[in-house]
Structure 1
Amino acid sequence: MATTDPSGLDIDVSDLSSERAAAWFRQTPVRRDFSRLDDADFGTWPDGFELAGRWLGLRAYHRGCYRGAIAARIHRDGTADVLPPSCHGRFDPQLATALLEHAATQLGVRRVQLAISYLPIDATAIHACARSVRFQRTGDLLVLTRSVGGDDVSPQLGDWTFEPCALGERDDLPAVLQRTLIGSRDFPNLPQVGSIQAMLERFAEVGLGDDRMWYLARYRRNLAGCLLMTARGDCQIGELLYFGLVPEYRGRGGGRCMVRYALDTAGDRGLPAVIAGVDAENDPAIAIYASMGFDPVSRRGVFFRRLATGGDVSPYAT
């Protein structure tokens, strides 16, 4: 499908399965280094880039010449992750802004309720473009990692035990997850859309979609939280998707025990490292990761935009 905006850009819009997305990314020039916006350093997405799920791809042309592209991964819970816009040649704020606006419009048409974009912390020009089309910054995502094995000063599990809870096998998982979100310090201002079940289904889409690495946590036999992990197909490492405790069992060392169990699980599966993301303002969680030997590797600004159900109000709507 193609649309034209008031500036004369022709936008080619593609709905993509994971298989078609792989081909789309291989054929679409994209910028490698978003922190150097005056440098025309382009390549193609690596073959191992995580492409599972449903994608939306947009390419921009002007008078038949390729100008840039943007893509978004659509999740089942009514959210979509929007990749940073890429301009062919030097960075063009007008083009980047148009790509973000078109992406938001097309996502709204597809009944996505919330668009989220994780933008490089130093790419202030892209931040300005996002704000100009009603994306709001809600904080920063801190990405941390730790290798598995080696010297270990981690706690013993003690009174904490873990039991598998693959999606659909345990009726109590959604209720436990819901309670762990009470008072959460991970992006508290980010709007919540969709049901808890849809949230779990989104977690199941990440990486290899292996929900056999999902666990309920018990403290002295009482349900106290949940731990959700996966293995990433792009780099063969473990990813700690989520861990949380219900309010009455916080402050008993459960967070460190959960991370300990995540590292043990990764080691048992032969994964060399574990990666995790956390709100950069979530000091308690960051302290847990630091005490368990995790090191920060990157930081990104988290921007979001609410979209109207069934179509976003936009000057570019078609």
Structure 2
Amino acid sequence: PDADTVREVCLCIPGAGRTGMFFTSEPGSREAADELGSLIDHVCRSLEGIILAQCLLAEHETRALQAFKRGGFTSIGQLSYLRRPMPRRAADVPGDTALPDGVTCDTWRSGDDGDLMEALQRSYEGTLDCPELCGLRPIEDVLESHRATGEFDGRTWWILRERGRPVGAMLFNAMKTQGAMELVYMGTAPEIRGRGIGSRLLARGLKAIAGRAEASVTCAVDHRNEPARRLYARYGFVPTAERTACIRALPGA
């Protein structure tokens, strides 16, 4: 083939928290997938300042998945993308919001990042939601990524505490271009799981954002996380898409 002919394309878009999202052309054959995989690997080795490379592939992109694996990526499973209508009124959201004695839920305030990062770290213990991501980045980078998703507003971020200790978080950001509020993250520490607190936390969040101008509320969940999928279904979330998530850790230097 002509050395000047473009056969495969790989694009990495740097993101907050030292991440990079990869997009590629669709290889037309197994041989093209191998060639694209070599290109992906070359791009990864050439990057600076990125420590986590990511891609999200649709079900039909089987050759692209082959290419990313050839390029050093690991598949961490299926992500289910969920959506429900924005509640018109708080009263439209079912479920109890009362928390057990000693458990509080407060909106984020300036100076709360330390508690929030502790809450995030605690919520990763025994998580069923993409556990392969745990420990791949400093928690400061993770928080930066959450804050940079859509439009950050501390009034729609909550920290859960039990007797003053951070034990969970729920973070909503506005996605203006999509006309949606995204539940960027929700998780709790092991010691408060199994007590119905996650359901009450989600009810609180949906009631708090009810009546906003955005048309819908969205989130993504690991398909393996059955408890979370059941919880979201109870609150009216329905699947809209599936993607295969793949990652590759990079040195970042």
- Counterpart residue type for residue 57 of structure 2: L
For the residues of structure 2 that align with 1:105 and 1:140, how far apart are their CA atoms? 26
Specify whether residues 70 and 262 from structure 1 end up closer, same or farther in structure 2 by C-alpha distance, changes over 3 A only: farther
**TM-score normalized with structure 2 length:** 0.84
For the residues of structure 2 that align with 1:237 and 1:178, how far apart are their CA atoms? 27
Residue among 18, 42, 49 paired with 1:78:
18
- Counterpart residue type for residue 282 of structure 1: N
- Counterpart residue type for residue 154 of structure 1: P
Residue 209 of structure 1 pairs with residue 148 of structure 2? no
For the residues of structure 2 that align with 1:219 and 1:113, how far apart are their CA atoms? 33
Aligned pairs, number: 246
Residue 101 of structure 1 pairs with residue 41 of structure 2? yes
Q: Provide the residue aligned with 2:184 in structure 1.
A: 241
- How does 1:62-141 map onto structure 2 within 5 Å? 62-63=4-5, 69-83=9-23, 85-86=24-25, 92-93=32-33, 96-107=36-47, 110-141=48-79
1:272 deviation in Å? 1.8
Q: Provide the residue aligned with 1:164 in structure 2.
A: 107
Gaps of 5+ in 1: 1-6, 10-61, 311-318
Residue 154 of structure 1 pairs with residue 94 of structure 2? yes
1:119 deviation in Å? 1.0
CA contact (8 A) 1:186 1:278 kept: yes
- How does 1:1-318 map onto structure 2 within 5 Å? 62-63=4-5, 69-83=9-23, 85-86=24-25, 92-93=32-33, 96-107=36-47, 110-149=48-87, 152=92, 154-159=94-99, 161-166=104-109, 168-190=111-133, 192-218=135-161, 223-310=166-253
CA contact (8 A) 1:266 1:273 kept: no
For the residues of structure 1 that align with 2:144 and 2:111, how far apart are their CA atoms? 10
For the residues of structure 2 that align with 1:116 and 1:174, how far apart are their CA atoms? 22
For the residues of structure 2 that align with 1:219 and 1:307, how far apart are their CA atoms? 36
Bigger Cα displacement from structure 2, 96-105 vs 114-123 = 96-105
Root-mean-square deviation (CA, aligned residues, Å) is 2.8
Per-residue CA deviations over 1:81-129 (Å, capped at 9, x if unaligned) read 223x0259x675356435423432332xx13222111111221111111
- Counterpart residue type for residue 178 of structure 2: C
Structure with more of its chain in helix, by fraction:
2
**TM-score normalized with structure 1 length:** 0.68
For the residues of structure 1 that align with 2:2 and 2:221, how far apart are their CA atoms? 40
**SS of match in other structure, 2:239:** strand
Identity %: 27
Specify whether residues 159 and 87 from structure 1 end up closer, same or farther in structure 2 by C-alpha distance, changes over 3 A only: closer
For the residues of structure 2 that align with 1:172 and 1:153, how far apart are their CA atoms? 28
For the residues of structure 2 that align with 1:254 and 1:132, how far apart are their CA atoms? 42
- Counterpart residue type for residue 104 of structure 1: C
Specify whether residues 8 and 253 from structure 1 end up closer, same or farther in structure 2 by C-alpha distance, changes over 3 A only: farther
1:172 deviation in Å? 1.7
